[in-house]
């Protein structure tokens, strides 16, 4: 596989890889490093990529595993929390503040979910993967994915309602 074939194969899902890494590692810099590391690993395996039914699913699984390894390592204590990825133009300051607060609350609620639910909500609701694809990536049954996703959404919904009604975290 030459460089142009490789790029044509792996570049379409580069943003998805980055977003998953950002969701798991939080830090933009760490997510960029993880994305770069993943593409380096994929390049080293370029001759074997044709063996996979879905290179994208393989890459997402590698990303998940790499991020978990990073979080388990000593370097994880150096990860910084940065949430500056939401911007909207032509909005009043009050509304902008409320939107930023809501987005931050949802991000925080997702971060507080168990790891499996966090990954599933990222892959399904943000990356828009199908249940079968997520099942292959996480080595779970589609019904387990649906149950976990339902529980994650319910938890987030209940916490948001609580937050908006009572101002409680």
Q: What residues does CATH 1.10.10.10 cover in the chain? A: 92-169
The mean per-residue pLDDT over the stretch 57-78 comes to 80
pLDDT per position as a tens digit, 18-65: 999 998 888 888 889 999 999 999 999 888 888 888 899 999 999 999
Q: Is 92 exposed, middle or buried (0-12, 13-18, 19+ CB in 10 A)?
A: exposed
The CATH classification number of 1-80 equals: 1.10.1740.10
Mean predicted lDDT score pLDDT of the chain: 82
Q: What residues does CATH 1.10.1740.10 cover in the chain? A: 1-80
pLDDT of residue 108: 85
Name residue, tokens 């996703």.
149
Q: Which CATH number fits domain 92-169: 3.40.50.2300, 1.10.340.30, 1.10.10.10, 3.40.30.10?
A: 1.10.10.10
């Amino acid at each position: 596989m030459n460089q142009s074939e490789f790029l044509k194969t792996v570049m379409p899902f580069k943003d998805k890889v980055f977003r998953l890494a950002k969701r798991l590692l939080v830090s933009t810099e760490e997510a960029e490093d993880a994305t770069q590391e993943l593409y380096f690993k994929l390049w080293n395996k370029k001759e074997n990529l044709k063996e996979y039914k879905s290179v994208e699913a393989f890459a997402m699984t590698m990303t998940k595993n790499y991020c978990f390894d990073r979080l388990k390592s000593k370097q994880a204590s150096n990860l910084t929390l940065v949430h500056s990825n939401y911007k909207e133009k032509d909005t009043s300051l009050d509304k902008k503040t409320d939107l930023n607060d809501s987005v931050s609350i949802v991000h925080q609620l997702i971060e507080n979910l168990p790891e499996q639910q966090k990954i599933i909500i990222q892959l399904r609701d943000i990356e828009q993967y199908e249940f079968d694809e997520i099942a292959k990536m996480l080595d779970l049954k589609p019904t387990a994915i649906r149950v976990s996703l339902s529980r994650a959404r319910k938890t987030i919904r209940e916490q948001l309602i609580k937050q908006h009604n009572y101002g409680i975290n």
